[in-house]
Every structure is written in C-alpha cells, then in structure tokens.
Amino acid sequence: MRVAVLSGGRSSEHDVSLASGEGVAAGLRAAGHEVLAVTLERDGTWVFEGEELALQPGRGLLGTDVAFPVLHGPFGEDGTVQGLLELLDVPYVGSGVLASAVCLDKIVAKELMAQAGIAQVAYAGVQTARWEDEREVVLAELAALGLPLFVKPARLGSSVGIAKVAAAEELGDALDAAFFHDPCVIVEAMSTGAEIECSVLGSARAADASEPGEIVIAADWYDFAAKYEPGGMQLRVPPRISATAREQVRATAVEAFRRFGCSGLARADFFVEGDRVLLNELNTMPGFTPTSVYAKLWEASGLPYEELVERLCVLAIERHAQERSYRL
C-alpha cells in the first residue's frame, strides 16, 4: 500500500503527534509499504517534502491508497481532519467525523455514557461563560464531588492542562489553568481503583479487545511526564484485577466502541475498584510513540506492531469501500 502518514497539527499535542507519526511510518515501512510523510504545521499548513500541499476535494491525497492521520487533540482527532479527508475522498485510519468529535469532547462523551448506563466516576462540566459570571456558585456546586478532584480541558489529551486538586482553595486556580486551553472544562471525582487500559481494533460489525493492562506509576498521578518520559510508567499485563473485572473491561471496551460508532481503533481507559469497572474515556487516536500503550497491549495479545498498523490501513480501505456503496 501507498500510505500518507499525517502528523503534527495545530493542537498542543503537536510534538507527541510527530513522535507517533514516526513510529507508524517505521512500522509500515517494516511491513513493506510505501510511506509518504505529511506534516501538519502548527499554523495548519500541510507540507510534503518541504512543499505546501494544495488539496482538492474529490482528488485524493498524493495518489495514496489510504491516509493514517496520527493526530491528537483539536484540529486532528476531533472530526475536523476526518471531514477534510472525507471531502478528499481518501480512505483514512480511525473513526469518522461524528465518533471522533464525540469521543474527544469529554463532557458530551460522559453524558452519552450516562444515558447508556455505563458506569463512570462522578463528574461536572463547566463552561467558561458561567465560570466568569458565577464563580462562587460553580465552586460551591463542585464541592459536592468531594476531594481530590481532577480538572481537565474537555477536548485535549495526553494530560495537557490537567491538574489534581487536593484542597478546596486550589480549585479556582486549576479551573483558570484549564480554561486557558479550552472554553469547556470537566471536573471529575477521583477513583482509588486500579488504572486499566484496553485496546480495541476492528469495525462496528466486528471489534476485538486486547488483553487489558494496568498502568503502574511512581508519580502521584498519570501526568504528561509519566506518559511520555522513559521509565515514567510501567504497563503490567495481565493487570492485578479479578478475572471477572478483566472480562468486564474487555466487554465494556467493545460495547463503548460500538455505541460511539468508532472504527479502526480506540483505547478505552478504566478505573477498576474490586469488581466494579468504571469507564473513563475512549481515545480514538491514541499515541503510537515507543512508550504508548495501545500498540503494547496488542503486542502482548499476540499482534506485532507492524501487523497492527497494516491491519488498521486495511480496515480503513474496507470501511471506505463499504460507505461508498451506499447511495447518499
């Protein structure tokens, strides 16, 4: 296959995306495929071999068979690039416009999870306008979630802009910091359970879950440094949870993947308290850096990295063909 690997992007996860793109490109080359590395600059420009790309709707992308948008966060993982690739009429790895947008917005995703009856931690969403107009009222409402709390920009990943709040007087500053990144912020109650992740691969018709893995860290919580610095975390497979919880994690990961309309891949993040399994979020384009969990869990499940990235490209081509078979 001739694959365009897209990395970089306009979000604060630009550098993480570049590292992910290098990993995917190396894996595809090792599997025998031709890779065209396309960089999305911080200003939104698309560049290939030092030249700015001119994109034409319906004309594909550099004559490639499939695009692999290894992009994280806004302007990449939120349905925007997916919509552009739809207009170009090129198959692309990962979920479509709606599922990408929904899963990146933590508030919308959690509301849909609640409707579906999927167990999760207590949470509250805060909009910047209300925070500016009713600061003290918002703080009083959030006190009902207890302490500690996690404050997060609603539409970022890689732990960017997240703060753990252990004391009530810290909450206001944490919210201010999160609003620097996003006009929507989510505040979550802390779970004391094990942090478990599970990778999903497939389509809406047939999706499989990997062996779950336990995130083991020396830090106070799973922050950016723990995720991306060498030795920041250890992935324990199998995790130290019961067989009942393990199967519930895998079943819930696939259920959420299907309910949200995901395609290709997703990483499901959980807290497990005894046999109680709490879904935290779905990531539709998880990291592919050397320390990233998604591929490591598939490797532990018997699917090597090179075969994984190849399979994702095949799934993308199959989905594109199927969707084009419908008369819209």
Could you list the pLDDT tens digit for every one of the 328 residues in the chain?
A: 999 999 999 988 899 999 999 999 999 999 999 999 999 999 999 999 999 999 999 999 999 999 999 999 899 999 999 999 999 999 999 999 999 999 999 999 999 999 999 999 999 999 999 999 999 999 999 999 999 999 999 987 656 678 999 999 999 999 999 999 889 999 999 999 999 999 999 998 899 999 999 999 876 665 555 555 666 689 999 999 999 999 999 999 999 999 999 999 999 999 999 999 999 999 999 999 877 899 999 999 999 999 999 999 999 999 999 998 887 6
Nearest to 250 by CA among 216, 201, 200: 200
Looking at residue 159, its pLDDT comes to: 62
Q: What is the pLDDT of residue 15?
A: 93
Which pair of tokens denotes residue 270? 């959980």
Q: What local confidence, expressed as pLDDT, does residue 228 receive?
A: 55
Q: Answer yes or no: 13 catalytic.
A: yes
149-172 residues labelled b (16+ CB within 10 A) or e (exposed)? bbbbbbbbbbbbbbbebeeeebbb
pLDDT at 136: 96
What was the pLDDT predicted at 326?
85
Which pLDDT does position 217 carry in this prediction?
81
Of 182, 195, 281, 310, the catalytic one is 281
Please pick, among 95, 100, 158, 199, the residue that the annotation labels catalytic: 158
Q: Does the annotation count 267 as an active-site position?
A: yes
Give the residue extent of every domain in the chain. 2-93, 101-119+192-319, 123-189
Q: Is 100 a catalytic residue?
A: no
Between CA 77 and CA 83, with CA 82 as vertex, the angle to 5 degrees is: 130
CATH superfamily of domain region 123-189: ATP-grasp fold, A domain (3.30.1490.20)
Closest CA relative to residue 124, chosen from 104, 113, 110: 110
Q: What is the CATH number assigned to the segment(s) 2-93?
A: 3.40.50.20
Active site includes 65? no
Q: Please report the pLDDT score of residue 218 as a whole number.
A: 73
The reported pLDDT for the residue numbered 161 is 78
Q: Select which of 222, 228, 294, 305 is catalytic.
A: 228
Active site residue 305: no
Active site residue 269: yes
Selecting among 7, 20, 191, 283, the annotated active-site residue is: 283
Of the listed 246, 267, 311, 319, which one is catalytic? 267
Catalytic residue, chosen from 264, 287, 301, 310, is: 287
> In three state form, how does the secondary structure of the chain look?
CEEEEEEECCCCCHHHHHHHHHHHHHHHHHCCCEEEEEEECCCCCEEECCEECCCCCCCCCCCCCEEEECCCCCCCCCCHHHHHHHHHCCCECCCCHHHHHHHHCHHHHHHHHHHHCCCCCCEEEEEHHHHHHCHHHHHHHHHHHCCCEEEEECCCCCCCCCEEECCHHHHHHHHHHHHCCCCEEEEEECCCCEEEEEEEEECCCCEEECCCEEEEECCCCCCHHHHHCCCCEEEECCCCCCHHHHHHHHHHHHHHHHHCCCCEEEEEEEEEECCEEEEEEEECCCCCCCCCHHHHHHHHCCCCHHHHHHHHHHHHHHHHHHHHCCCC
Please state which CATH class domain 101-119+192-319 belongs to: alpha beta
Backbone dihedral angles phi then psi of residue 157, each to the nearest 5 degrees: -130, -165
Give which of 90, 56, 60, 92 is closest to 76, Cα–Cα. 92
Q: Is 208 assigned a catalytic role?
A: no
